[in-house]
């Protein structure tokens, strides 16, 4: 039996969206808010660069790996129930992060935090898809949601900087406790349950393989950048990742109801959109891990000063997010998608000019360009993924595109960090990393422009 409801009138729309926006905001805020606190965490807990990468990637790897199941669980057991359970788990894990007294404890708590967060983004997108079936209105709502989601990522430094400087790095995790409690209270009262259990089933083997190959790949890349690529543990991790990845694909192809719809990737639209999502995570979000360190460790900015230097990015990203949904409604997804990824490519390659003494106005302009590109390309990435599948599989589509993006972010932090570690100075490494990110994004932009059909 299918249980599905829609928002009946505009008066209830704001209250319905509030917990979805807030839950998504929290989960994505924690992708970036920690970045601005990393130098302080490194000093307080005496961590290495590799451990800093794991503080970021522990969260993102769990987020990406469990997100695939998160969408299916929401479709099967109820989108509202799973979403709110995820918020509660995320809140408890955030408290554990704040209480950490060692890097290992913090990394472990971040993994739990990421696993809980894995149901929030696909859950919110799926609840929106169910509540707003009319394509044009859905695109506008997803545009607003994407603006909030993207703003969370870029507001992370703005919020985290002053908090870290005034109250210490633990405050960036304590912040989630009252926000999580508020989300649960409002969600219990205002969200409406919906489920499609006949179209979803748990895939335990697939889930374990996904965790295994993503985790092994990330470990191999991070460790390879610091130990050397020929070291036995690195080769073993990369080899294990390859074996588990192949096994994952084979298992998913044989499943009647896989958590990752492998065959959907044969559809040009779905496949290209997910490739674009992966590269957005790899190039853009992966780079911000390094840019936060660059502003503080290379340019000498305090956490608050570094946060304020991200402001042009925040403003551009928020503005573009408010406009992107309307652009998709009017022109379809392809034009805004290609335009957004073109801007990201220009910004990443433009950042090759960065040095310890680059004038800040140059950095600000580049932040504006990448901010506009992120939202302009991000909204159609989400809407076109939902458009490519039947409505009853909206949870699976949402979880797939977001898991692909988060996997790209995890791989980006690992790969770009390894590129930096291989260079004699951080600035040299940053330029090499940005070149890799820019070229990868540029290649995908060309593919989107030439292979994706206009809608």
**CATH code, residues 10-188+259-451:** 1.20.1250.20
- The model's pLDDT over 3-16, given as tens digits with 9 standing for 90+, comes to 444 444 454 677 88
Question: How large a percentage of the chain has pLDDT more than 70?
Answer: 91
pLDDT at residue 201, as a whole number: 62
Q: How far apart are alpha carbons 12 and 9 in whole angstroms?
A: 6
**Bigger pLDDT: 83 vs 453:** 83
pLDDT at residue 73, as a whole number: 75
pLDDT at residue 440, as a whole number: 96
Spatial contact of 124 and 83, defined as CB atoms under 8 Å apart: yes
The first and second tokens of residue 43, run together, are 């000093």
| In the predicted structure, residue 349 carries a pLDDT above the cut 70 | yes
Domain boundaries, the chain: 10-188+259-451, 203-258
Spatial contact of 112 and 238, defined as CB atoms under 8 Å apart: no
- The model's pLDDT over 59-116, given as tens digits with 9 standing for 90+, comes to 988 887 787 777 677 777 778 888 999 999 999 999 999 999 999 999 999 999 999 9
- Which conformational region is residue 202 in: left (phi greater than 0), alpha (psi within -120 to 50 degrees), or beta? beta
* 121-127: average pLDDT: 79
Spatial contact of 443 and 435, defined as CB atoms under 8 Å apart: no
pLDDT at residue 267, as a whole number: 76
Q: How far apart are alpha carbons 271 and 265 in whole angstroms?
A: 4
- Which of 404, 295, 277, 299 minimizes the C-alpha distance to 344? 277
pLDDT at residue 198, as a whole number: 61
- The model's pLDDT over 380-415, given as tens digits with 9 standing for 90+, comes to 887 777 776 666 666 567 667 877 888 898 889 889
* 338-350: average pLDDT: 95
pLDDT at residue 1, as a whole number: 42
pLDDT at residue 4, as a whole number: 47
Q: How far is CA 88 from the centre of its chain?
A: 20
pLDDT at residue 3, as a whole number: 47
Count of other CB atoms within 10 angstroms of residue 12: 13
- The model's pLDDT over 137-166, given as tens digits with 9 standing for 90+, comes to 777 787 777 777 767 776 787 888 899 989
- The model's pLDDT over 213-236, given as tens digits with 9 standing for 90+, comes to 888 998 888 888 777 888 899 999
**Bigger pLDDT: 102 vs 325:** 102
Q: How far apart are alpha carbons 97 and 311 in whole angstroms?
A: 27
């Amino acid at each position: 039996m299918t249980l599905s409801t829609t928002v009946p009138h505009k008066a209830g729309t704001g209250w319905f969206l509030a917990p979805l926006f807030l839950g998504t905001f929290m989960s994505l805020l924690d992708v970036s808010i920690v970045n601005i606190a990393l130098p302080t965490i490194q000093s307080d807990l005496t961590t290495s660069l590799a451990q800093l990468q794991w503080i970021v990637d522990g969260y993102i790897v769990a987020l990406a790996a469990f997100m695939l199941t998160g969408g299916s669980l929401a479709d099967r057991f109820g989108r509202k129930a799973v979403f709110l359970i995820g918020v509660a788990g995320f809140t408890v894990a955030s408290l554990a992060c704040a209480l950490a007294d060692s890097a290992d404890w913090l990394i472990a708590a971040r993994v739990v935090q990421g696993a809980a967060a894995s149901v929030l983004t696909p859950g919110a997108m799926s609840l929106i898809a169910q509540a707003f079936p009319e394509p044009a209105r859905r695109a506008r709502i997803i545009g607003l949601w994407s603006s909030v989601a993207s703003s969370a990522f870029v507001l992370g430094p703005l919020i985290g900087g002053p908090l870290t400087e005034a109250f210490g790095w633990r405050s960036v995790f304590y912040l989630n406790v009252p926000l999580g409690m508020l989300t649960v209270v409002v969600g219990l009262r205002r969200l409406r349950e919906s489920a499609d259990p006949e179209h979803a089933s748990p895939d335990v083997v697939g889930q374990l393989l996904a965790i295994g190959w993503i985790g092994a790949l990330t470990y191999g890349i991070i460790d390879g950048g610091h130990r050397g690529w020929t070291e036995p543990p690195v080769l073993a991790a990369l080899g294990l990742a390859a074996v588990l990845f192949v096994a994952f694909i084979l298992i998913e192809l044989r499943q009647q109801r896989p958590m990752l719809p492998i065959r959907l990737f044969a559809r040009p639209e779905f496949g290209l959109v997910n490739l674009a999502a992966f590269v957005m995570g790899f190039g853009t979000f992966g780079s911000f891990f390094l840019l936060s360190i660059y502003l503080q460790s290379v340019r000498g900015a305090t956490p608050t000063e570094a946060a304020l230097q991200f402001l042009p990015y925040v403003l551009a990203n928020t503005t573009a997010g408010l406009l992107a949904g309307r652009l998709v409604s009017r022109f379809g997804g392809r034009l805004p998608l290609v335009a957004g990824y073109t801007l990201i490519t220009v910004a990443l390659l433009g950042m090759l000019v960065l040095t310890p003494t680059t004038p800040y106005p140059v950095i600000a302009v580049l932040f504006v360009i990448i901010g506009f590109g992120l939202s302009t390309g991000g909204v159609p990435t989400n809407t076109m993924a939902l458009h490519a599948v039947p409505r009853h599989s909206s949870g699976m589509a949402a979880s797939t595109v977001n898991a692909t993006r988060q996997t790209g972010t995890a791989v980006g932090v690992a790969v770009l960090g390894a590129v930096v570690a291989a260079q004699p100075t951080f600035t040299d490494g940053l330029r090499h990393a940005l070149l890799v990110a820019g070229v990868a994004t540029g290649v995908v932009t060309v593919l989107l422009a030439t292979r994706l059909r206009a809608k």
